[in-house]
Structures are given as C-alpha cells and as structure tokens.
Amino acid sequence: MMTTNITIKQVRAALKKWGNFWVKREMGRGFKSQSISDRTGQPTGGFSSSEAMSVPDDIELITSIISQLRPECIKAIRARYVMAGTMTETSKLLGFDSKRSAEFWLVKAERSLMLELSH
C-alpha cells in the first residue's frame, strides 16, 4: 500500500483524507461525537464492532499512529485537518498560544507520521 519513502506531500494528502473521514463521521451522527483525536492515549478499540468495521485500513493506520503522538501534536493535527476555520481560529480554540505554536507542533506531527509510514 505505502512505499518505503513517504514524502511530506503524501503525508498531508493522507491527513486530509483522514480528517475528512472523521469530519463526515462526526457530522453524520447529528452531534459531535468523541472522535479518535479527542481520546488521547486511549486504545483505538473504543468503537462498537459495527463502527470499527466501517473504518478503512488506511484511516485506522493513521489514527493509531496519531494516537501515539504527543497531545500537542494531536491538537495541531485536529486544528489543521479536522476543524473548520483558519489555523489562527482553530489553534486558539484548542488552547495554543499562537498560530505559530500550533504550526510548530503540526510540523513535528507531520514529520513523525512521515517516519512512521516510511517503514
């Protein structure tokens, strides 16, 4: 599925797809459910079996890698790829001091994913 050398472009495309999947999943229920990015440190087995079966393998892989990142990285990914609004707005909502701080953690998160997916 994935090549041995993943580019930052491929990581960002995968994160966009991942974010869109979770946005649709949350909106489809008519209320904001607890998404995987909110459940820092919890195993990904938090879904009922019917829900778990509907998560594509590539989304599940990215979800499990993200869940092992530092909380700041997870929040930065959420600010960029899941939440609506500008990075300035979403980073404030998630408690970052500044957009720059959120972007620092986002770059760290994207690089971690790039390394993990390049195995």
User: For every residue of the chain, which 3-state class applies, written as one string?
Assistant: CCCCCCCHHHHHHHHHHHHHHHHHHHHCCCCCCCCHHHCCCCCCCCCCHHHHHCCCHHHHHHHHHHHCCCHHHHHHHHHHHCCCCCHHHHHHHCCCCCHHHHHHHHHHHHHHHHHHHCC
Q: Measuring CA to CA, which residue among 115, 110, 90, 111 is closest to residue 102?
A: 90
The pLDDT of residue 56 is 93
Which band of pLDDT confidence, cut at 50, 70 and 90, is reported for residue 1?
low
> Each residue of 16-58: pLDDT tens digit?
999 999 999 877 654 444 455 454 444 444 444 455 458 999 9
pTM score, whole prediction: 0.75
pLDDT exceeds cutoff 60 at 5: yes
Above pLDDT 90, what percent of the chain? 68
> Each residue of 51-109: pLDDT tens digit?
545 899 999 999 999 999 999 999 999 999 999 999 999 999 999 999 999 999 999 99
